Structure formats: structure tokens, C-alpha cells
Amino acid sequence: MWERGLVLSAPGKAILHGEHAVVHGKVALAVALDLRTFLRLRPCAEGRVCVRLPGVGVLRSWDIPSLQALRSGFAGKRWEEERAAPVGSRPCPVTQWDPRAADFDESKPPSVEQLDTLREFAGIAAEASAPESLATLAFLYMCLAISAKYGDVPSVDILVWSELPTGAGLGSSAAYAVCLAAALLSACRAISCPLKEGESTARWTEEELTLINSWAFQGERVIHGNPSGVDNAVGTWGGALRYQSGKITPLKRVPMLRILLTNTKVPRSTKVLVAGVKEKILKFPAIMNPVLDSIDAISQECQSVLEVMSANSSPEHYPVLEELFDINQHHLNVIGVGHPSLDRLCRVTASHGLHSKLTGAGGGGCGITLLRPDTSALAMEAAKRDLCACGFECWETSIGAPGVTLHSSSSLKAEVLHVFAES
């Protein structure tokens, strides 16, 4: 049981194909990165709930009676509103209303009033949008909402550490929200603790993963307002998924592919880039719509190749994936979301015989480079050295990683163990 403490993790995400085209109803493929966010939950005997996020400088603690009073305040306000409403307009008879659970439901987004109240409670300025502020706000909302539905969150100490950079479009907030949802649901006994004695890792049932995902989506709503749900779905189920017009379909099996992930560290505005693509489509519809159709075809072709590879991987599949990378990168430049830093990334990796494309919004941000199984360590180190000389940051990792997972200590990397031991 969780009373002995538990450690879990969730992966980040990258867009393999379909960036920007997905906004216009085309297919996008999102994949789980084997760069993960780790959460350790331990009981504490002080009647408090504590959350520590050393990566963004958060150390907050609240006593449980204060959190209960805050939650009751929400419910009490709604209770009075319902009692004062005309009988015919009440959502249900007052006698059936459970004030403990009022206003908190994974099927509806957090209200402006709720978030304003939580900001005031936590001393967060109304306009604050820094990662530490949003992470604290998401924690408070999820803690109150889950405890309202499943019973009080007990005295716990939660420590979160991530391999993912924030603000790079790699799903760091979603991985955090997925970890929080799984931990808080476990603490409230809404889901099981499937890790058995002697096992290194374990995952929840499909039904439990669906519940984790729904609450993680609430955390993402607190942080991003109106997210697509793709990032938290990747964090929950891992592997790869197909997204089109709001419909998320996990791919049944995907191969684990090695990649080099590179952050150009060039800041960009997703909103501005999306608006720029829309403007170009409106200006040149006969030119731009076929480009979007081609990006859609690339996503679907890549999905077909991945499904074949998962059953029977062969070296001949890699040149196809590399060509799709190259074609899509050219398309993304055509629709206006390229950047000189990304061009430089592609040139540097091409000089080492590797193929790259941007991932995410473009305009800077991150790129991914496909690594064949026979890519030598020498070539890899040379490429990383040249990319770092450009001022970029690189990680050798893989895509198709598992979703949210429970860990025994024996399954954790030394770096994670060190962070937990130091905190």
C-alpha cells in the first residue's frame, strides 16, 4: 500500500508529425519521450500536505484543516446558491445535494472563481504565469477536487523531479499532472497500488488509467486553460497516439525508436505561429491546403510504418522514416514555422548523416533527430558536440516509452535516487 511510500513516473511527449496541420483537422502523431517526471509520495505524521518541486523552486505546505475549510468554503457557497435558486432551476433536489463534492468534477473545467480563490489562498498574483505559480495552483486544485470526490487526502509529502525542461513544448506540465493525479488517487484509495513485492515496475488497469487521465486533464486545464488533452493522454498511456479533430486514438503497439532531442533554446509564441499559419492559408488557399494535405499523408504513412515495425522491424524501414522527416521539415518551412536555428540544427545533423525535423510549434524550440540502430557512438558524440557548440542542449533518448508507471527503488536510475536521497 501507499502508506509505505511510492514512486511513480510519467513521460514527456513530442510531436512526430502533423504540427500545425492538426489545427486544421489533419492527423498528428504524438509519441512518449523516455525523458520522465518522477514523483515520490510519503506519509507524514504532522497533519499537513507538502509539495516540493526543486526544479522550479517550490516548497509549499498546508495543514489539512485549512485545506478542508477551503474545500468546504467552495461547497458552502454553491450550497447556498442552490438553496436560493427557484426549485425548477436546481440541478437536483437540495436534499440530494452533497456539499462536500460540490463544484469539483473531472468532467467540467475549473471555474474562474475557484482558481481566483486558490490564488488568493496560496498568495499567487492574479497575473502570475511562471511555472512555479501554475504548478502550485494545479496541485491545490487537484488536491481539493480529488479529496472532495474520494475522501480527504491524508498527510503526505510529495516530491517531484523531472528530466524534462519546462517551456520547451515537451509535455512537462502534463507529465507533472499525470504523476499528481496517480499519486493523489492512490493516497485516497480511488485506485489500487499494483506494484507487488519483488516487481521492479507496474502499471494500472485500463479503467484506472482512464481515471488518472481525466484528473490529469483537469491539472492541464488549470495550467493551460484549454488544452487538447494530447499531452496528458501520452503521459498516461505512453507509446504513440493519433490525434485528429479532437479524437485521441492510442496506437496499439509502437517500436521504441532512438532519437536525439535538441532544444535550440530559442523562445517562441505558439499562439503567434498558429495565427501566422492561418493567415497564410487564407491568403494562398490553393497553395497551402495541398501542403496541409501532404502533411496529413505523412502522418498516416508514418503510422503505417510504425505499425509494421512493431510487428517486424527491419533496417529498410529507417530510410522511409528519414525521408518522411525531411519532407515534413520542408513543408513546415513552407507554412512559415521554421527558424534559422532549426535550419542550423538540420544542417549540423545532416553533416553526420542524420535526419532531423522540428517538433512542436516551431519558430525555435526543439527538434528531433532519428537514430538508426547502427548509428555509432562516435557519430552520435560528434553530432552532440557540434550541436552544443551552437548553444543548443541535447538529450539522447527514445520515443514510444511506457506511460505512467509505479517503480520499486531497484528500477530507478542513480540520478533519481540521488535526488530523492538529497531531499
Question: What cell was used for 415?
Answer: 540520478
Which among 51, 23, 18, 11 is positioned nearest to 171, based on CA atoms? 11
**Catalytic option among 9, 173, 186, 341:** 173
List all residues 6 or more positions away from 221 whose beta carbon is below 8 Å from its beta carbon: 109, 110, 227
> Is 374 a residue of the active site?
no
Looking at residue 392, the DSSP 8-state letter turns out to be -
Phi and psi at residue 142, to the nearest 5°: -65, -35
Three-class SS of residue 41?
strand
- Are 325 and 356 in contact by the 8 Å Cβ rule? The answer is yes
- Find the distance separating the first CA and the last CA of the chain, reported in whole Å: 22
Phi and psi at residue 75, to the nearest 5°: -65, -40
Tell me how many degrees the CA angle 327-331-336 measures, rounded to the nearest 5. 150
**Catalytic option among 103, 231, 296, 386:** 231
- What is 281-301 written as a DSSP string? HHHSHHHHHHHHHHHHHHHHH
**What's the longest Cα–Cα distance across the chain?**
75
3-class SS shares of the chain: helix, strand, coil, % to 5:
50, 20, 30
- Are 32 and 16 in contact by the 8 Å Cβ rule? The answer is no
Q: Write the CA distances from 180 to 10, 37, 186, 212, integer angstroms.
A: 10, 10, 10, 9
List all residues 6 or more positions away from 285 whose beta carbon is below 8 Å from its beta carbon: none
Question: What cell was used for 12?
Answer: 514527456
C-alpha count within 13 angstroms, C-beta hemisphere, residue 131: 17
> Is 231 a residue of the active site?
yes
Spatial separation of the C-alpha atoms in residues 14 and 21, rounded to whole Å: 15
Indicate which residues carry an active-site annotation: 173, 231
